Structure 1
Amino acid sequence: MTDEENRFSPETRALMGVFALYWKMDAVIDQTLLTPQMGRLEGRVLLQLDQPRRMGALAQLLLTGPPSVTAAADRLQNMGLVRRAPDPDDRRALLLQLTEQGWEMRRQLEAGASALFRQVSGLSEGEIKQFAALSMKIHDTITGTGEILKDPSQTGDKE
């Protein structure tokens, strides 16, 4: 065991790594991935539109409020990247979906984000797959409830 492993719990080491990754990605993402007209939220919306989604579902996935998603959708629609269409399951509701131009921008964002992640993280291909699986489990846990637990004892886990 290294000195660092002795000094910090696994949870603390995990948090240190996640925070360092976030801070580094945050420091460079605006300069490398987004166009001047598109903000960070718009980029995140595009990445979540792998399928048409309702605004409320997008807000939950992005851990933000529906008014913010609506404003981002308006900006993306004005740029010709998304359109609103009736939800076939509920004609009163609207789905946000990518246009052809939106799909192209999404592909560019995803490729740029992937390259940037590889460069910043220093992880191997196998490590990225492991990290991705664990990260999606965390993402699904948090977005599945739509809220962040304030007290870990609320989970009922006794692990």
Structure 2
Amino acid sequence: MDQLAQAAALYYRNFAAVAAERDLTLMQGKMLGLLRRPMPMRSLADLLACDASNVTGIVDRLAARGLVRREADPSDRRVKRVILTEEGEETVRQIRSELMSNLTGLEGLGEEDRRSFQRLLGQVLPAVSV
């Protein structure tokens, strides 16, 4: 568990630095990364483990920069979903690319070892459904 905690801490330090290069906070970067598909604001608050009012502020700042937009959920117009814009998608691609280039230890793993690592992580840390 100590190694897992150290790996997570290293990843988030790296993630925060990469996000900061794009004038994003860690939470703004995390939110962008979660938006693989349109997501209700309440779901974002749950995933980020923060109050809905904090999510509103984060979304406001990202929307002001043109990285996300809000839209009403087609099945319930009272629910607001957050969606990445094209610029937001490009920002996420850049962040992920830079993160991968900084994780040089993964480059040393062969394809079989990478699959095993991913499988083992999935067993230890089951995926969060979003």
Q: TM-score, normalised by structure 1?
A: 0.68
Tell me the secondary structure at the aligned position of residue 67 of structure 1.
Answer: helix
The yes-or-no answer on 1:110 pairing with 2:92 is no
**Superposition pairs for residues 8-19 of structure 1, below 5 Å?**
15-19=1-5
1:87 alignment partner, one of 73, 76, 85: 73
The structure whose Rg is larger is: 1
- 1:70–1:32 CA distance, 2 compared to 1 (3 A): same
Which residue of structure 1 lines up, in the alignment, with residue 42 of structure 2?
Answer: 56
Over aligned residue pairs, what C-alpha RMSD do you find? Answer: 2.3
Give me the whole-angstrom Cα distance separating, in 1, the residues matched to 2:53 and 2:118: 29
Task: Name the counterpart of 2:8.
Answer: 22
Work out the CA distance in 2 between the residues paired with 1:53 and 1:103: 14
> Would the alpha carbon gap of residues 47 and 36 (structure 1) be closer, same or farther in structure 2, given more than 3 Å must change?
closer
3-state secondary structure, aligned to 2:24: coil
* 1:65 paired residue number: 51
**Following the alignment from structure 2 to structure 1, what is the Cα–Cα distance between the partners of residues 51 and 122?**
21
CA-CA distance at 1:123 after TM superposition: 5.7
**Which of 10, 13, 17 is residue 31 of structure 1 equivalent to?**
17
* Secondary structure in 2 matching 1:94: strand
Cα distance, 1:99–1:27 mapped onto 2, change above 3 Å: closer
The structure-2 alpha-carbon separation of the partners of 1:61 and 1:128, relative to structure 1 and needing over 3 Å to count, comes to farther
Aligned length: 127
What amino acid sits opposite 2:76 in the alignment? D
How far apart are residue 139 of structure 1 and its match?
4.8
